[in-house]
C-alpha cells in the first residue's frame, strides 16, 4: 500500500509538531541552542576557541615565531537582502566590499591576520551579470586591501541576494585575544569613532524616503527632503564600506601590546560591552562623556532629531575594535590610535553608563536586531 | 543642493547599465568570471590549489607524516530552498545532514579528512524553533559521523531557508589528489552505484504530485498514484541523506593507493568525466555496459518510463567518488569497493560513451543545473 511518509520516518522526523516562532528566542537564543546541540565540538582535537567568540581558533601544527603553536582562526558572516541591506540604496560594489570587511573585522577581533576566503553567492534572477561583476569587484577590492585571497566558493540561484563569506586567518597562539580576559581596573578602549555607521544609515534611509516621495529635488531642508550626501560623505562611507581595523592589530604587534580582551563593534558599544562582561565575568563602566563621536555623526543626529550617544551605544556596524588594556600598558600606544571610553570593574557592578552628573545607569544590551 | 547619489558615486558605481541575465552565462560561467576577477589569488602565498577544484588547498606550516608539507583544504556549498530542495518532501533533519555531507564529499574528493565546519543559516519566519533544532540535529549527526566539529556560524533571517556550510579538512600535501593528473591508459573508476539519488528524487516528486492531486491514497499503481516508498527506501535515502565516501579515502590510505585524479559525483558522471578531461587534458571513454546501477534505480526508471543509464550519467547528487588509477595499482584495492566504468584516453578522443554495439557517441556534460 502506498505510504506518503518515508520508511525511516522516525529517524528523519523533524520534531516540528510544535511551532515556536524564531522571534521568541531571537538570533542569540538560536545560536545558544546550536552550541548546546553541538557541544561535543568544544572538545575537538586542536580546538582552542569554539563557537561564541568573534572567530573559532584551532592549532594547525608547526610553531609560531615565539615558540607557541601556530593557529588558524575561522569566521563566517552572511549579508541577506531585505535583512542586512536594501539594494535600492546600497551599491553592489559596496556590498561585496562589506561582505569581506565584516569577516576580516572578526579575524582582527581575535588579534589575527586574514589569509583565505570562500564566497557563497545566492543570486536572484533580477540581478544581471554586470551586477554580479560589480559585487565581485567589491569583493576583490576588499581582499586586496586586507591581503587575503578568495580560494573557493559556491554560486547558486536564490530568491533574494545572499552573500556568505568565510575567512580563515592566522596567528601565533600566544597572540590570540578572546572576549574573555579583561580584569577589573583595565581600561576600556575603542579604535576610531562610534555611531557613524548608524548615522550613515539614517542619511541613506532619508535619501530613499525622499526619492520615494519625490522630495529629492527639494533643497530647502524641509521635512522629507533628501539630506545632502556630500555633507554626510564620511558617515555614508562608514555605513557602506566599513573598514576592518587590521591596521590597529598591526600597530599593537609593533608596539608589543596585547589587549587583555577584544571584540569588534558590530552590534553597538552597549552590546559589545556586555559581550566582554559575560565572557570575562567582569563589569564595565562606560563614560558617556568619553564616547568618540565624529562631527558628521553629531550633525546627522541633530538633523534626524536623535542623540549621537544613542548611535554610538546602540547603532552598531562601526566595525571598530573594543579592547581592554592594563593602565600600565597604555603609554606604549600612540594616543591618536584609540580612545578610552571607560573601565573594567568588578562583576557585581554590572555594565553601566556614567552620566555627566556622576550618576550611573544600567546599560541595556541592544543594537540592530534582525529578528 | 541635495543630491541623491553618493559623493563617491564613481568608485561605487555598479556598472549595472547593461543587463545581461545570469541565465546567459550560467553558474559555471559566473564562477569563471569570479575566478578571472580574483585571478591574483592564484599566486597567494602557501596556496597549492585555488578555485576550480572540489576544494582549495593551502599549506599551514609543519610537516606531514611523510615529510611533505601539512596542508588544509577548504570548501563551501550552499543549499537554497526552492533551488536545491523543497521542504514539502525533504525533512529538515535530512537537510542538515546533507548540507554537511556534500561538503565532506568535496573534502574526500581531495583525498583529505574533514576537521572543522562553519554553518550559516538563513531562517525564514515560517520555520519554527523546533524546525531549526531538527536542522541542527541533522548537522550534528553528520558531523559526528564524519568526525568534524562545528566551530562557528552565523544565523540570520531570510525569505527562504538557506544553509551554507564551509568545511576545513587536512592532509599531507603528498596525499592531495586534484581533478588533473589522469593519464591515458588509467582506469576510470567509481565508488558505489550511480543514478540512485536521481531515482530517489523522482520517487519523492511522484509522492508529492500524488499528494497534491489527492492520489496518495490510491494503491493501484495507476498514473498519479504515489510510489510505495518502502519499495524505494534505498534510493530515497540516497537522495535525502547522501553519504560522503570518506570510507574509501581511508581504505586507499590503508592500501597505499593514491588515485591519479579524483572528483566527487555531484553533477552526474558525464559532467564529472568532463571535469577530469578538462583539468587533466585527457579524454575518457565510459562503457555504457559497466555503469554500476542499483536494482531500485532500475525499478524506479522502469516505473517512471526513464532510462537508468540516464540517471547514472546525468542525474547527479550521488556523491560517490570518480577516480582514475593506473591498471597496475588496481590489484591493491578490494574489488568490492569500486567499479571500473571506463578508461582515460588521449585528449583528441574526447569524452565518449561506448555503446554495447561498440559504437562511440560523444557524451555531453549535463546534469542538474540550477539556472
Cα separation, A357 vs A197, in Å, equals 28
Please list the residues that pair with B72 across neighbouring strands. Answer: B58, B170
Contact A40 B122 (CB under 8 A): no
Q: Give pLDDT, residue B320.
A: 98
C-alpha cell of B223? 498514473
Give B228's contacts in chain A (Cβ within 8 Å): 1-3
Q: Of residues A301 and B32, which shows the higher confidence score?
A: A301
Cα separation, A230 vs B176, in Å, equals 53
C-alpha cell of B154? 552565523
CA A287 to chain B, closest CA, distance in angstroms equals 31
Q: Give pLDDT, residue B229.
A: 82
Dihedral sign from CA coordinates of B52, B55, B58, B62:
negative
C-alpha cell of B157? 533571517
Question: Which of A5-14, A169-178, A262-271 comes out lowest in average pLDDT?
Answer: A5-14
Contact B76 A4 (CB under 8 A): no
Contact A34 B58 (CB under 8 A): no
Give A132's contacts in chain B (Cβ within 8 Å): 22, 30, 33
Give B86's contacts in chain A (Cβ within 8 Å): none
**DSSP for A89-124, written as a single string:** TS-HHHHHHHHHHHHHHHHHTTT-EEEEEEEEEEE-
The yes-or-no verdict on residue A6 having pLDDT over 60 is no
**Which residues have CB under 8 Å from B266's CB, separation 6+?**
B102, B105, B272, B316, B317, B318, B319
Find the radius of gyration of the CA atoms of chain A.
22
Cα separation, B215 vs B194, in Å, equals 30
Torsion of CA A310, A313, A316, A319, to 10 degrees: 130
Q: Name residue, grid cell 555531507.
A: B101
Query: Tell me, what's the ipTM?
Result: 0.88
Q: Which of residues 151-180 of B touch A (CB under 8 A)?
A: 151-160, 162, 164, 166, 168
For A163, nearest residue in chain B (alpha carbons): B164
For B36, nearest residue in chain A (alpha carbons): A136
Q: Which of residues 210-249 of A touch B (CB under 8 A)?
A: 210-211, 216-219, 225-230, 233, 236-237, 240-241
Backbone angles phi, psi at A159, to 5 degrees: -65, -40
pLDDT tier, A356 (very low <50, low <70, confident <90, very high otherwise): confident
Query: For B124-127, which contacts have Cβ atoms below 8 Å and span 24 or more sequence positions?
Result: B124/B81, B124/B157, B124/B158, B124/B159, B124/B160, B124/B161, B125/A21, B125/A22, B125/A23, B125/B157, B127/A22, B127/B92, B127/B161
Q: Of residues B10 and A247, which shows the higher confidence score?
A: A247
Q: Give pLDDT, residue B190.
A: 98
Cα separation, A135 vs A128, in Å, equals 11
Contact A60 B80 (CB under 8 A): no
Domains of chain B, start order: 53-175 (3.30.1330.10), 187-213+223-362 (3.90.650.10)
Question: CB-based burial of residue A221 (10 Å sphere; 0-12 exposed, 13-18 middle, 19+ buried)?
Answer: exposed
- Taking the CA of residue B319 as centre, how many other CA atoms within 13 Å lie in the half-sphere pointing to its CB? 25
Closest to B91 (Cα-Cα) out of B123, B138, B161 = B138
Question: Which of A38, A156, A210 shows the shortest C-beta gap to B143?
Answer: A38
Give B3's contacts in chain A (Cβ within 8 Å): 226, 228-230
Cα separation, B95 vs B160, in Å, equals 14
Q: Give pLDDT, residue B366.
A: 74
Please list the residues that pair with A121 across neighbouring strands. Answer: A155, A163
Dihedral-angle region of residue B145 (phi above 0 means left; psi in -120 to 50 means alpha; beta otherwise) = alpha
Task: Identify whether the C-beta of residue A178 lies closer than 8 Å to the C-beta of residue A279.
Answer: yes
Q: Is A87 annotated as a binding residue?
A: no
Task: Identify whether the C-beta of residue A368 lies closer than 8 Å to the C-beta of residue A239.
Answer: no
**Distances in whole angstroms, Cα of residue B323 to Cα of each of A271, B79, B142, B165, B278:** 51, 25, 24, 25, 14
Q: Is B54 annotated as a binding residue?
A: yes
Q: Give pLDDT, residue B319.
A: 98
Residues of chain B whose pLDDT is less than 50? 1-13, 15-16, 216-222, 368-371
Q: What is the total residue count of chain B?
A: 371
Q: Give pLDDT, residue B12.
A: 44
Q: Of residues A345 and A7, which shows the higher confidence score?
A: A345
pLDDT digits (tens, 9 = 90+) for B198-214: 999 999 999 888 878 76
CA A300 to chain B, closest CA, distance in angstroms equals 15
Find the radius of gyration of the CA atoms of chain B.
22
Cα separation, A369 vs A32, in Å, equals 16
Cα separation, B270 vs A32, in Å, equals 43
The yes-or-no verdict on residue A135 having pLDDT over 70 is yes
Cα separation, B178 vs A350, in Å, equals 55
Q: Give pLDDT, residue A306.
A: 95
Q: Give pLDDT, residue A330.
A: 97
Q: Is A35 annotated as a binding residue?
A: no
CA angle A127, A129, A133 (to 5 degrees): 105
Task: Identify whether the C-beta of residue B111 lies closer than 8 Å to the C-beta of residue B177.
Answer: yes
**Which residues have CB under 8 Å from B325's CB, separation 6+?**
B186, B187, B189, B257, B259, B260, B333
Task: Identify whether the C-beta of residue A173 lies closer than 8 Å to the C-beta of residue A70.
Answer: yes
Contact B156 A27 (CB under 8 A): yes
Question: CB-based burial of residue A43 (10 Å sphere; 0-12 exposed, 13-18 middle, 19+ buried)?
Answer: exposed
Cα separation, A341 vs A353, in Å, equals 10
Dihedral sign from CA coordinates of A208, A214, A219, A225:
negative
Q: Give pLDDT, residue B45.
A: 87
Cα separation, A178 vs A173, in Å, equals 11
**Which residues have CB under 8 Å from B22's CB, separation 6+?**
A123, A125, A127, A128, A129, A132, A157, B30, B371
CA B354 to chain A, closest CA, distance in angstroms equals 33
The yes-or-no verdict on residue A21 having pLDDT over 80 is no
Cα separation, A216 vs A236, in Å, equals 17
Give B156's contacts in chain A (Cβ within 8 Å): 27, 78, 80, 83-84, 370
Sheet strands (E) in chain B:
47-49, 56-63, 69-80, 113-123, 149-157, 162-172, 187-190, 261-264, 283-287, 321-325, 339-345, 351-354, 360-362
Beta-carbon neighbour count of residue A65 at 10 Å?
9
Mean pLDDT value across chain A: 88
pLDDT tier, A367 (very low <50, low <70, confident <90, very high otherwise): low
Cα separation, A329 vs A259, in Å, equals 9
The yes-or-no verdict on residue A120 having pLDDT over 60 is yes
pLDDT digits (tens, 9 = 90+) for B32-54: 777 777 755 556 889 999 988 99
Q: Which of residues 49-108 of A touch B (CB under 8 A)?
A: 50-51, 55-56, 58, 60-62, 70, 72, 74-78, 80, 82-84, 91-94
> Is A368 an interface residue toward B (CB < 8 Å)?
no
Backbone angles phi, psi at A152, to 5 degrees: -170, 175
3-state helix, strand, coil in chain B (%, to 5): 40, 25, 35
DSSP, collapsed to helix, strand or coil, labels residue B314 as helix
Contact B370 A16 (CB under 8 A): no
Q: Give pLDDT, residue B104.
A: 98
The yes-or-no verdict on residue A198 having pLDDT over 90 is yes
pLDDT tier, A41 (very low <50, low <70, confident <90, very high otherwise): low
Question: Which of A70, A74, A219 shows the shortest C-beta gap to B168?
Answer: A74
Q: Is A77 annotated as a binding residue?
A: yes
Q: Give pLDDT, residue B318.
A: 97
Amino acid at each position: 500500500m502506498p505510504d506518503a511518509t518515508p520508511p525511516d520516518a522516525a529517524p528523519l522526523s523533524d520534531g516540528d509538531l510544535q511551532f515556536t516562532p524564531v522571534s521568541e528566542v531571537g538570533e542569540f537564543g538560536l545560536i545558544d541552542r546550536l552550541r548546546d546541540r553541538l557541544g561535543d565540538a568544544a572538545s575537538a582535537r586542536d580546538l582552542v576557541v569554539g563557537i561564541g567568540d568573534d572567530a573559532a581558533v584551532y592549532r594547525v601544527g608547526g610553531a609560531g615565531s615565539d615558540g607557541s603553536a601556530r593557529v588558524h582562526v575561522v569566521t563566517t558572516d552572511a549579508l541577506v537582502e531585505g535583512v542586512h541591506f536594501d539594494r535600492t540604496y546600497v551599491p553592489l560594489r559596496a556590498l561585496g566590499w562589506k561582505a569581506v570587511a565584516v569577516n576580516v573585522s572578526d579575524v582582527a577581533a581575535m588579534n589575527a591576520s586574514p589569509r583565505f576566503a570562500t564566497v557563497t553567492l545566492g543570486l536572484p534572477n533580477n540581478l544581471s551579470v554586470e551586477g554580479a561583476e560589480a559585487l565581485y569587484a567589491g569583493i576583490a577590492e576588499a581582499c586586496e586591501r586586507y591581503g587575503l585571497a578568495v580560494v573557493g566558493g559556491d554560486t547558486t540561484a536564490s530568491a533574494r541576494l545572499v552573500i556568505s563569506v568565510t575567512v580563515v586567518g592566522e596567528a601565533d597562539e600566544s597572540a590570540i585575544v578572546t572576549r574573555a580576559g579583561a580584569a577589573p581596573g583595565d581600561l576600556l578602549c575603542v579604535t576610531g569613532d562610534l555611531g557613524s555607521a548608524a548615522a550613515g544609515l539614517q542619511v541613506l534611509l532619508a535619501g530613499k524616503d525622499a526619492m520615494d516621495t519625490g522630495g529629492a529635488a527639494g533643497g530647502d531642508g524641509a521635512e522629507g527632503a533628501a539630506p545632502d550626501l556630500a555633507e554626510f560623505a564620511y558617515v555614508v562611507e562608514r555605513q557602506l564600506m566599513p573598514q576592518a581595523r587590521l591596521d590597529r592589530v598591526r600597530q599593537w604587534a609593533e608596539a608589543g601590546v596585547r589587549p587583555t580582551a577584544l571584540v569588534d563593534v558590530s552590534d553597538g558599544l552597549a552590546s559589545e560591552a556586555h559581550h566582554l562582561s559575560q565572557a570575562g565575568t567582569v563589569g564595565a563602566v562606560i563614560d558617556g562623556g568619553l564616547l568618540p563621536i565624529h562631527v558628521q555623526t553629531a550633525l546627522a543626529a541633530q538633523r534626524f532629531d536623535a542623540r549621537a550617544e544613542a548611535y554610538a551605544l546602540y547603532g552598531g556596524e562601526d566595525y571598530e575594535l573594543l579592547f581592554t588594556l592594563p593602565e600600565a600598558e597604555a603609554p606604549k600606544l600612540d594616543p591618536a590610535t584609540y580612545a578610552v571610553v571607560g573601565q573594567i570593574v568588578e562583576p557585581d557592578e554590572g555594565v553601566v553608563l556614567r552620566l555627566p552628573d556622576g550618576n550611573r545607569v544600567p546599560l541595556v544590551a541592544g543594537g540592530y536586531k534582525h529578528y
